[in-house]
Amino acid sequence: MDFMQSFTTVSLKGLTSEHWNRTRFLPCRGSRAFFIYSRENAGSACRIEKFYDIMGLIAEKSTDGRLSSDNGPLSVGKEENSQMKATIGCPMKQLQCGGCPLLDVPYPEQLRRKQKTIESLFGRFCHPEPIIGMETPFHYRNKAIATFSSARGKLACGIYAAHTHHVVPVKDCLLQDSRINEIIGAALFSAAKCHLPAYDEDRGTGFLRHMVVRRGTSTGEISVTVVTPSEYFPASRNFVRSLLEKCPDVTTVVQNINPCHTSAVLGTEEKILFGSGFIRDRLCGNTFCISPRAFYQVNPSQTERLYQTALEFSGLTGKEQVIDAYCGIGTISLAAAKYAGDVLGMEINGDAVRDACWNARLNGCENVDFIRGDAGKLMTEMAKEGGKADLVFLDPPREGASRQFLVSLLRLAPSRIVYISCEPSTLARDSALLIKGGYEIRRVRPVDMFPHTQHIETVCLLVRCRKRQDGKL
C-alpha cells in the first residue's frame, strides 16, 4: 500500500476543523511535516490522506511508509532493535497484552528514544531540555481499568489484547500500584461468589462490564467503581460486604451505569453503594477530592514534576491574570493560585467544575474561580468584551486543542502560553498555528509520565513576540 499519496505545500488556512482534529506530525529527515490521516479498519495502519510541510518546505518521501496504528508517537522506518535486550520478564506479554510495549527496552534507552522524538519535532524552534525520567519506573499507576469477560464459563477480568477486544486476564501488572492489583483480584472473587455474569457486548447479555480502581497515593484511600449496563444490581449488598471483608481499606464503592454500545468505559449515571463516592489525594501541596469520572493524572510523582515544570515556565510573579483551560478538577489552577493574582478555570464537564469548586474551598483558595463551558467560546467572548489574560495554561486531551480554541486563544493574545500535552505530534501541530499567529517557542521539556509505553508528556512555553499581520489564519 502506498501511504504517501501526494506532497503538497499549503497554508494552514487550508485546514478545516474536521481536518485539524485528524492531524498528526511526522518527523521526516529534518523536516517538520504533518499529515491528515484516516483509519481503514480497527487495528490497521493509517492511510495518509494529505501530507503537508508547515514551514513551506517540500516534505521528503519516506522509504518505509508504515505507521503505527496505536495512539502513541508515529514512527517511520524500522525500529532500532539490534542492541535492545529484554531486561524485564512479564508473563502477560505472552498473552499479547499491549499495556507496555517498551518493557523489553532498557529504561535509559526508552528515555533516549523519547528525547529524540521531542528533538525531531521541536529542535528547529529551540533546544529541548532533557527529559525527566523516573527513578523506579514500575507500579506507578494509581488507576486501573479492568474489563470483565467469561473464560471457559468462569468470570475473569483484565485488559484488551493489543488491537483486539479479546480480554487478557491480568493478575499482576508491573505498571499498576501493587495494592490496586490486589483489589482487582478481590473484587473479581466477590463478583464470582455472588454469581454475577460478565457482560457480552456482542449479544448484549450479562451484567458486569468494567471495573475502575483508584488509589490516593498520599492518603491510601481507594475507590472501586463497577460499570454495569443497567441500574439493577443483583446481590449488590453481598458483593460490597464480600469486597470489604477481603479489603477493609476500600473507602468507597460506586456503581456506574453505562447502557451505551460505545468504547467509552463510564456512563453518566452513578449510584453510591458504600462510602462517600469519592477519594482524596494530595498533589503540589493541595488536597483534591476525586470522583469516579474526574480526570486525575495516573502517575502522581511525575505529575508533581510536570506541574512544577509548568509553574517554572509560567514565570508567575503574583500579579498575573491567569486562565486554566481544560482545567478538570482544578489541579493546575490551584497549584498556580499560590503564585498568581487571579486564576479562572474553564471546563466543559459539569461534574469536573463541581469538583473543582469544592477543591478550591477545601484548600482555602480565594483567588480562583471556575466556569462551565467551552473554553474557546468563553475566551472569544472575553476578547470581544475587552477582557485580558497575562497567561493561559492548557492541558487538552490527546487529540490536542481544536482549531476554534486556538483561534480564540490568538484573539485573547496572552503574553505567555504554557501548553501541557500528552501527545507531542498534536502539540507540534497546534504550536504551528500559534507560531503563525505571532508566538515563538521558548522552552520545551518532556516528562516521562508513562514509562514502558510510547506516550510522552511535554511542557511547552510560547511567548508572544509580534502581532498578527492579518486578521485571519
All three cell numbers of 128, joined, read 529541548
| 3, 7, 175, 455 from 140: Cα distances, Å | 37, 42, 6, 15
Strand partners, 225: 212, 254
Whether 422 is catalytic is: yes
107's CB contacts (< 8 A; 6+ apart) are 87, 133, 137, 451, 452
* C-alpha atoms less than 13 angstroms from C-alpha of 472 in its C-beta half-sphere: 5
Options 327, 422, 460, 465, the catalytic residue: 422
Side-chain half-sphere CA neighbours of 346 within 13 A:
20
CB 102 within 8 A of CB 176: no
Q: How many residues does the chain have?
A: 473
Concatenate the DSSP letters of all residues of 245-306 into one string. HH-TTEEEEEEEE----SS-S--SEEEEEESSS-EEEEETTEEEEE-TT----S-HHHHHHH
Burial code of 10-39, b = ≥16 C-beta within 10 A, e = fewer?
Answer: eebeebeeeebbbbbbbbbeebbbbbbbee
**Residue among 15, 76, 21, 14 at smallest CA distance from 45:** 76
Distance CA 277, CA 225 (A): 9
- Residue 225 CA to residue 148 CA, distance in Å, equals 13
In what side-by-side order are the strands of the sheet with 342-347? 368-372, 342-347, 321-325, 391-394, 416-421, 457-464, 439-447
Backbone angles phi, psi at 73, to 5 degrees: -60, 135
Q: Among all chains, which residue has been given the C-alpha cell 508513562?
A: 450
The DSSP bridge pattern shows strands 167-169 and 269-274 to be: unpaired
* Catalytic residue list: 422
